[in-house]
Chains A and B, each alone.
Chain A
Amino acid sequence: MSSLSKELGSWRTPNVASFAVALALFAVSSLIAMSGPRYDVTLLVTVGLSAVAAMGLTLLLIAGQVSLGQAAFMAVGAYVSAILARDHGFPAVLALFAGVATSAVCGAIVGGITLRLKGHFLPLATLAMGMACSAAIVAAGPVTGGASGFGQIPPLSFGRFELVDDRAFAIVVWSIVAVAAGGFSRLLSTRTGRAIAALKTDIEMAGVFGVNATRLRLLVFVVAATLAGLSGGLYAFYFKFISPAPFGLTSSINLLIACIFGGMSHPFGAVLGASAVTALEMFLQNTVARMLGLSGNVEMIVFGVVLIGVLLRWPGGIWSALHRAWPVFSTPRPARNIELTPSKRGVEGDDLLSVRGIGKKFGGLTALHDVSFSVGADQIVGLIGPNGAGKSTTFNIATGLTEPSEGRVRLMGAPPPSRVSDLVHRGVSRTFQHVRIIPERTVLENVAFGGYAQGRSGMIAGMFGLDQAEEAATFAKAWRALEIVELDGLAHEPASRLAMGQARLVEVARALISRPRLLLLDEPAAGLRTGEKLKLVTLLHRLKRAGTSVLLVEHDMDLVMNCVDQVVVLDRGHGLMTGLPDEVRRDERVIAAYLGT
């Protein structure tokens, strides 16, 4: 399929990449800090502070949330630190800590309130919140100095050591940048990182695999606010003067532009983006403005044009263009293969899925009535019926997504679990009607995400490398799953480049990683070409042979009739018949149901 089926050297892991990134950032910045002219050092600090805040915003964007108020959290960090340090005698470091903590708390509050907002309501809420913050700072003049600003902020000191040297400050700032960038870079390739990416792609899908979307979103929001608060606090202690101006809407927009430049998908991109924005700003101020004798408004116009242009032309940001040249850092294939045999649950001989007399009413409408069938061990069952027959409803009832109005469902001998993510623990896995994989991640990472519910490591473990054993196990299983569906050659391909048939097989692999005994496939052949369907049929029978049963809903009659052991036909909400493919195909009632009368 592509030239990327090369084997990775064992050193090309995300750990190495993150560490290298962090080290490089620190090295370059230290060089500039120590040997560059004074002006450049200030610039370096500015870029570094921007980068910290931008990294927080990038994390939010990766989770699919757009914030137009990131600078407001910087303001909180800046003002709280400054006020406590100057007017309340707090030691500077403590004041900084308090400032960051306050930002975090504000992040939690704002995040909690705005969690449920969908679509463009979230950016609007953050926009309003940001403007309220600026207005509040101005209004609280006596405490904050209002529009004229707050000055004479004491320097940042650790005990008796005062950080007054610009160069030293720059190194401190960039150490933070390096650690944050390295940590987040690593985080993104681990369990929590995959979950964050899944949030953006499809919250429902993420939930099915066990992600607590609410908690994770809140966590990301708090982290973003914390980073912004840290940036703001350091800003206060460096420039020793703050006002509402650098923390207003324009700054929030500039941060967003930096992230968009950087590609919205990686902390490294945020650093690049922050540098690019600052460079552009410098260029405009020095060159263009002087040439045309114009003031800072040209800047605004140009930034606006650039923002519009980039969004129109490259929705993926500049980083996505660079990304193609960036080598792949991913988990290499393990030397030893593990087996993904279906876990043996339930007593032998019992039905894995049993549906008796189920019915479903939606308001006054009876969607289903008296439908019964079962799926036993080592069986492939197909669920068919004309449009509107009730296949999706039946499917959702079987997996516990919908409650039946009447009747009984037994999944592995017990009623369907109340939480969809518990399906995995029962040895049951399902796929979706529309492909729901994470386009920005590699095929291997997408499959690995299927193991989320069985993992444990969180954000801290992910950032600082405490999850090596668990990740190794997860990826070993992912490799094996890919081998089963014969797509291991595509492991390091970005999922967005897959053809439909391959994407569907990746979804199956993702479902296999939890070693299910029963696999529920929702229209697995939709949109596939003939060759891809042949592969699907072969795969399903290999799974059956290895001990996994399959229930599939499908429209492609050729495929169903030649693939399944048993056919269940629905028509207008009730079961028409159950039988062998040949019987069903010849049955008068079935023909009438499909062809009409």
Chain B
Amino acid sequence: MPDLRVSDLNVGYGRATVIEALDLDVKSGELVTVLGANGAGKSTLLNGIMGLCRPRAGSVTLDGVDLAGLRPEQLVARGVVLVPERRELFGNLPVEVNLRLGGYRTGAPAKALDRIYELFPILAERRRQKAATLSGGEQQMLAVGRALMAAPRLLMLDEPSIGLAPLIVQEILLVIGQLKSEGLTIILVEQNARLALSVADRGYVLEVGRIVLQGSSAELSADPRLSQAYLGGASDYAAARDQVYVD
């Protein structure tokens, strides 16, 4: 099981810089959550690690091996798998094909498929239906299932709870908890901080591209600065504002 280390990472799109000088690490078997408000850079972080977005500076290493310049499909071969925010399913293909394609790299045996159906029984029911006809929650389960077919060593989830009803979110969280107990290393990016901290070992809080808070989930839950990271509190801007009215 891998150790992931992110050092001094700088990722952006075009002119914009989204994350700056970011340091983060995940030990084998941990469930680490990355929190922060919308626009904080959480998705960009995962995309940068996954090779979907080339970092401008800094490094990402897995068990000491530098991942720079590797394409996403090569990362999957090394056991790094991402469940993206938009799920990126193959809408017009049936559920079972989506799952099998998840196992493309590993040459998925039938056992792996059965395992997924065990975790998500509803997918077994809908196995011949086209992915686009599934409900939001079912699609999320399919996305997670597809990722698991790749036999990941490190699983990254980008806001799995987004747009889903609370009951479905609970189901998915149960599965995530189960995977963790089986020893899978997980990075969970979430906007819903309370939910994420309830399953994570440790957490990092991002605010506008930088880490402003980190610690064990117990520490973070109790920290009053957590809400500040979402709702602001620093006073740098006051000076910039007030100088206008001085004369």
Contacts and interface: CB of A to CB of B under 8 A. Distances in A.
Establish whether A and B are touching in the complex (CB under 8 Å): yes
Interface string B220-246: 000000110011111111101101110
Contacts of B241: 537-538, 541, 562-563
A528 B163 CA distance: 28
Nearest to A564: B241
Contact of A527 (B16, B230, B238): B16
A500 B227 contact: no
A334 to B, nearest CB: 26
Contact of A562 (B194, B195, B207, B238): B238
A562 B228 CA distance: 13
A557 B236 contact: no
Nearest to A592: B194
Contact of B37 (A538, A542, A561, A594): A594
Nearest to A585: B231
A312 interface: no
B234 A558 contact: yes
Contact of A534 (B14, B18, B20, B237): B237
A500 B16 contact: yes
A557 B237 CA distance: 11
Given A541-B245, A560-B232, A387 B191 contact: yes
Contact of A526 (B16, B193, B207, B227): B16
B38 A562 contact: no
B119 to A, nearest CB: 24
A595 B193 contact: yes
B68 interface: no
A562 B230 CA distance: 14
A534 B240 contact: yes
B87 to A, nearest CB: 16
B161 to A, nearest CB: 8
B194 A499 contact: no
Interface string A552-568: 00011111111100000
A545 B37 contact: no
A537 B240 contact: yes
Contacts of A581: 232
Interface of B is mostly: mixed
Contacts of A387: 38, 162, 191
A415 interface: no
Nearest to A595: B193
B216 interface: no
A590 interface: yes
A596 interface: yes
A530 B234 CA distance: 12
B12 interface: yes
Contacts of A541: 241, 244-245
Interface residues of B, number: 37
Contacts of B17: 500, 527, 529
A557 B40 CA distance: 10
Interface residues of A, number: 40
B39 interface: yes
Contact of A555 (B39, B194, B238): B39
From B40, B208, B227, name the one whose CB has the most chain A CB atoms within 10 angstroms.
Answer: B208
B15 interface: yes
Given A534-B236, A558-B236, A561-B232, A503 B163 contact: no
B92 interface: no
B237 A595 contact: no
A533 interface: yes
A595 B230 contact: yes
Interface in B35-54: 37-40
A537 B235 CA distance: 12
A556 B243 CA distance: 21
Interface in B18-46: 18, 20, 37-40
A555 B39 CA distance: 6
A338 interface: no
A127 B218 CA distance: 66
Name which of A387, A523, A527 has the most chain B CB atoms within 10 A of its CB: A527
A324 to B, nearest CB: 19
Contacts of B170: none
A581 B235 CA distance: 13
B74 interface: no
B56 to A, nearest CB: 13
Given A533-B237, A585-B231, A500 B194 contact: no
Interface string B139-163: 0000000000000000000000011
Contacts of A35: none
Contacts of A357: none
A302 interface: no
A489 interface: no
Given A537-B240, A538-B244, A557 B38 contact: no
B192 interface: yes
Contacts of B233: 558, 561, 585
Contacts of A286: none
A499 B40 CA distance: 19
Given A386-B38, A500-B15, A558 B227 contact: no
Contact of B230 (A503, A534, A594): A594
A545 B245 contact: yes
Contacts of B245: 541, 545
A542 B226 CA distance: 32
Nearest to B161: A596
Contact of A388 (B163, B192, B234): B163
A498 interface: yes
Contact of B39 (A529, A530, A556, A562): A556
A435 B13 CA distance: 12
A596 B237 contact: no
A597 B197 CA distance: 11
Interface string B44-77: 0000000000000000000000000000000000
A533 B193 CA distance: 26
Nearest to B193: A595
B244 A563 contact: no
Given A500-B17, A557-B230, A596 B12 contact: no
Contacts of B40: 555
Contacts of A534: 236-237, 240
B195 A596 contact: yes
A591 interface: yes
A545 B18 CA distance: 31
Contacts of A562: 232, 235-238, 241
Given A435-B15, A590-B231, 14 more contacts: A503-B15, A523-B39, A527-B16, A527-B18, A528-B16, A541-B245, A555-B37, A557-B232, A559-B232, A559-B237, A594-B230, A595-B193, A596-B191, A596-B193
Interface of A: 386-388, 435, 498-500, 503, 523, 526-530, 533-535, 537-538, 541-542, 545, 555-563, 581, 584-585, 590-591, 594-597
Interface of B: 12-18, 20, 37-40, 162-163, 191-195, 207-208, 226-227, 230-238, 240-241, 243-245
10 shortest interchain CB distances as A-B pairs: A527-B16, A557-B232, A596-B192, A562-B237, A555-B39, A561-B232, A500-B15, A541-B244, A594-B230, A558-B232
20 contacts: A388-B163, A435-B15, A499-B15, A500-B17, A530-B236, A533-B237, A535-B240, A537-B241, A541-B244, A555-B38, A556-B39, A556-B232, A557-B232, A561-B232, A561-B233, A563-B241, A585-B233, A595-B193, A596-B191, A596-B195
